[in-house]
A and B are shown apart, each in its own frame.
Chain A
Amino acid sequence: AQKITQTQPGMFVQEKEAVTLDCTYDTSDPSYGLFWYKQPSSGEMIFLIYQGSYDQQNATEGRYSLNFQKARKSANLVISASQLGDSAMYFCAMRAVFFGNEKLTFGTGTRLTIIP
């Protein structure tokens, strides 16, 4: 079974500062992928970044980077130079990598609020 833990229910960050959202996971699958999604109040889940368990480098996508520490089973999201539009719910999720598997397991999310 897979489990995602997000221990920060809410965070307040000053605009233009960097922010780290924590995510730890547990799985017995040998190959897996880790995802971060942003969910604004409108409800749509917006894909931000992906990290494969065998990727050698940490993933980066613009202002988003994923701090992947496999031995610690952590996959923290770092947002640099935060903007007001970053205020939203953020979900960490994982999926075992095998053909035909589409099931994502999500954490409970972190509500990020950017303060002007």
Chain B
Amino acid sequence: DAGVTQSPTHLIKTRGQQVTLRCSPKSGHDTVSWYQQALGQGPQFIFQYYEEEERQRGNFPDRFSGHQFPNYSSELNVNALLLGDSALYLCASSPNKAPTYNEQFFGPGTRLTVL
């Protein structure tokens, strides 16, 4: 049973460019969340996708957008990259059924460097 997978592993971009990160959830999971983890910090919640819609959003600008596909996989898009967007981007998946509040699994992350 494959866990949460993310691609690519590493990415280097320059300021002003756009980037797309991808995530495939764990089998049986239909909800995907994205987090940004800056160096030396805990992860910060970006947004959550369920049924191909953004259901929750953290305190991130509109430059951060996402998409969820019918097979539950998801993309995170960041436009007009800034140096401060350099971070580890983590995807987490969970099943949308109560009361499995303890079931949220993370992928290995994509490390984005903006030069």
Taking residues whose C-beta sits less than 8 angstroms from the other chain, chain A's interface range is: 20 to 34
Contact with A along B86-110 (1 / 0, CB 8 A): 0010101010101001101111110
> Which of the 9-residue segments B37-45, B65-73, B76-84 touches chain A?
B37-45
State A67–B101 Cα separation when bound (angstroms). Answer: 19
* A residues 10-43 touching B (CB-CB < 8 Å): 33, 35, 37, 42-43
With CB as the reference atom, state the residue of chain B lying closest to A97.
B101
Q: Is the CB of B56 within 8 A of A103?
A: yes
Residue from A4, A100, A102, A105 within 8 A of B104 (CB atoms): A102
* B residues 27-48 touching A (CB-CB < 8 Å): 31, 33, 35, 40-45, 48
Rounded to whole Å, the gap between the CB of A96 and the closest CB of chain B is 10
Which of A33, A45, A91, A105 gathers most chain B CB within 10 Å?
A: A45
With CB as the reference atom, state the residue of chain A lying closest to B49.
A102
Which of B98, B102, B111 gathers most chain A CB within 10 Å?
A: B102
Query: Which residues does chain A contribute within 8 Å of B43, judged by CB atoms?
Result: 45, 91, 104, 106
Partner-B contacts on A (CB < 8 A)? 4, 33, 35, 37, 42-47, 50, 52, 91, 93, 95, 97, 99-109
Taking residues whose C-beta sits less than 8 angstroms from the other chain, chain B's interface range is: 20 to 34
Q: Is the CB of B105 within 8 A of A100?
A: no
Overall SS of chain B's interface? strand
Rounded to whole Å, the gap between the CB of B110 and the closest CB of chain A is 9
Query: Which residues does chain A contribute within 8 Å of B104, judged by CB atoms?
Result: 35, 47, 95, 102, 104
Q: Is the CB of A108 within 8 A of B33?
A: no
Contact with A along B44-68 (1 / 0, CB 8 A): 1100101000011010000000000
Q: Is the CB of A44 within 8 A of B109?
A: yes
Query: Which residues does chain B contribute within 8 Å of A33, judged by CB atoms?
Result: 101-102
State A47–B105 Cα separation when bound (angstroms). Answer: 7
- Those 5 A-B pairs whose CB atoms lie nearest each other, nearest first: A106-B42, A50-B102, A45-B106, A43-B109, A44-B108
State A10–B84 Cα separation when bound (angstroms). Answer: 25
Q: Is the CB of A91 within 8 A of B102?
A: no
Query: Which residues does chain A contribute within 8 Å of B102, judged by CB atoms?
Result: 33, 35, 50, 52
State A99–B45 Cα separation when bound (angstroms). Answer: 17
